[in-house]
A and B are shown apart, each in its own frame.
Chain A
């Protein structure tokens, strides 16, 4: 900014609006009082300590990690191939296919959730972690495709031709040239899709049955005022994890953009 303008001031206030609400969670998670209100009574780590002993919570965390991992792997591998097709080849129905895989971004959550529940029951998949994994893969796919598309975008096609020209076969070329160059993009996609799944609630709420993921567990705790401090502590940890994952993903995404100069 060359000079502090009204616009810059507005931008600053906007950031406050964006961040302040979220920052109240960690702030009050250290409050020794049980009511979320000013003034803060005192500081404590008690609420965090208590989290360790809750078995349902640990189980929900394990469920979430498992779902996130599988959804990230599935979405990223499908996204990797699709993005390569979109960037490198021209084929009939390409635009339609590109549009279709972005659709999960704009369908209202409740409709995705209810229709998948109905579908899965009809084809014999009971509400379970498997159902959530399949649903989250669907939701995460657009993120993976767009990240992998930008990873392939600046990837010079003649690099693969050069490898081929120097005697590598198709598999060899993929392993020694393509994969190393788009690897940062793959890592970024894995992290982002994992985060999408890890934070997702509505679909998991409909599809998880009696195997809650972490957000579903939190949802069940929100209703109990007595559990509030614990929920705050858990929520704060979740926030920290998401932001940490994003920062790492961003680092890899930039590396993938930079390495192809």
Chain B
């Protein structure tokens, strides 16, 4: 991955009548990175992708690809190619002709087309299936043909619109890794749109999270998970316990806080959020909480509570613990080491947390 920018979106905006689908979006994409646009449905991520592809013109702002302003350049003249959500495999053409479709628009010799098509099919592990009919393909095969058809064009940027949403769970997980490997081997920039946070986190170098037409945060997955810039992202990505806290002192990069349940703690300041005033909110991931029958040693904060519900997920167990002074039960997740469920509803337990695991979410915006 180089530091060169391949795509620059400058304040792009898309309106449909009164409705603003994408508002004032600025984004730089680096050459060779796997970038995901993540957000709930209707957040504008697909519209943003389609503006890069050229299927929609922004109502304001600029799309710059490889240093060239794309204004007025239609989709068929842009150095991008797309994998469609429905895959859009041409039903009247066989696999080979589907993959060759774009190359034939470029006046490339027949022998070279054949070579590149078979290379592309080898690459997606469909070698030798050129003459297979488009309607005889399985879901996974259709996805691979769609990938091969776009990649054979050697685009500067490959755009993927929910590329895995039509596949079942097992296949989806397998394809996540395959696409990641493919992207790393080819070194082409991938821009993927998805609503699935796990998909985005497992595949991407960086993720841009969108809500209601706005790009809210752009970061690498671990940063996004550890330093979400607001409550919305914190709850959209992974699970989070939200707790009110009072800011008692601020010193350099650290905050000293007191909470109604855990004792006073000194935590790292989150540069992505703003603190104005003393009432702030903190977040703790369920897997960062220790649960035990006696008060645990060596934790920065501990609190006693009562188990309300137990949810067994297989790979781990979630305990919902009611703590005095906190409205909603606190969720703690424990890896299923020994195939046992240690606590039952009604049991009195202790929760422990390290201050390093406590996430500063800034000014308290919740109503609870």
Contacts and interface: CB of A to CB of B under 8 A. Distances in A.
B153 interface: yes
Given A167-B106, A168-B105, A259-B135, A162 B74 contact: no
Contact of B92 (A161, A162, A259): A259
A169 interface: yes
B76 A167 contact: yes
Given A259-B92, A261-B135, A165 B53 contact: yes
A162 B106 contact: no
B84 A169 contact: no
A166 B101 contact: yes
A180 interface: yes
A61 interface: no
Interface string A172-193: 1000110011000000000000
Contacts of B84: 158, 161-162
Nearest to A177: B90
Contact of A166 (B55, B74, B81): B81
A159 interface: yes
A166 to B, nearest CB: 3
A156 B86 contact: yes
Interface residues of B, number: 24
A163 interface: yes
A165 B82 CA distance: 7
Contact of A158 (B77, B80, B88, B101): B88
Contacts of A176: 101
A260 interface: yes
Contacts of A181: 90-92
A166 B91 contact: no
A259 B153 CA distance: 26
B256 interface: no
B85 interface: yes
A162 B90 contact: yes
Interface in B81-100: 81-82, 84-86, 88, 90-92
Interface of A: 156, 158-159, 161-169, 172, 176-177, 180-181, 259-261
20 contacts: A156-B88, A158-B85, A161-B82, A161-B84, A162-B84, A164-B55, A164-B76, A165-B76, A165-B81, A165-B102, A166-B102, A167-B77, A167-B153, A168-B101, A168-B105, A172-B105, A177-B92, A180-B92, A261-B91, A261-B135
Interface of B: 53, 55, 74-77, 80-82, 84-86, 88, 90-92, 101-102, 105-106, 135, 149-150, 153
